[in-house]
Amino acid sequence: MESKKMKRSELLAFFGGLNAVANLEGVKFAYAVVRNKNNCKAEVEALNEAQKPPEDFLKLQGEHRELLEKHCDKDKDGKPVVKVLSPNVTQYAGIAENKAYKKEFDALEKKNKKLMDAREKQMKDYEKLLGEDVTVNLHLIDFETIPEGITPAQLELIFPMMKEEK
């Protein structure tokens, strides 16, 4: 076990990397992955909680989604046309040029300015938090312990648990 200092954002990437390699074989490797996940879990959970939006904001997001669905282009069955830009990002078709949507959204935004400002501050504080250092106890492994099927991208994510070569 060795204490390592890293940015909280790096810790989140490392934790994601541990999840990405959890299915690779090797008893010593699996043991190290599980130990490191357990050692990082409390910090990751605290970070997830710190960025969680308040209930009022979730309600506001629901109202916004209703507006989007009301004003976006619809398919032949009357369902909203949605473009998937990435796994976490979608875009409703026809919204950019829809004046009625813009008017209703502006009113919703104005009505909820305090709530939106609070959420924006929360996310700025969260971004600042991600840039801060945290010390984590890691179970380190030797190069020989790495499973053969690991990809370079996976290895890069779990690199903090590698012992320094001498």
The answer to whether 21 and 154 are in contact (CB under 8 A) is yes
Does 94 reside within a domain? yes
User: Is the same domain home to 112 and 64?
Assistant: yes
Name the H helices within the chain.
8-20, 27-51, 55-71, 99-111, 113-130, 152-158
User: Do 104 and 60 share a structural domain?
Assistant: yes
- My answer on whether 11 and 43 are in the same domain is yes
Contact 154, 22 (CB under 8 A): no
As a whole number of angstroms, the distance between CA 20 and CA 41 comes to: 15
Residue 78, domain extent: 55-129
Residues 64, 91 within the same domain = yes
Instruction: Please tell me the pTM assigned to this model.
Output: 0.80
| Same domain membership, residue 137 and residue 125 | no
From first to last of the 166 residues of the chain, give the pLDDT tens digit.
Answer: 899 999 999 999 999 999 999 999 999 999 999 999 999 999 999 999 999 999 999 999 999 999 999 999 999 999 999 988 888 888 999 998 899 999 999 999 999 999 999 999 999 999 999 999 999 999 999 999 999 889 999 999 999 999 987 6
Domain assignment present for residue 166? The answer is no
- Whether residues 67 and 46 share a domain: the answer is no
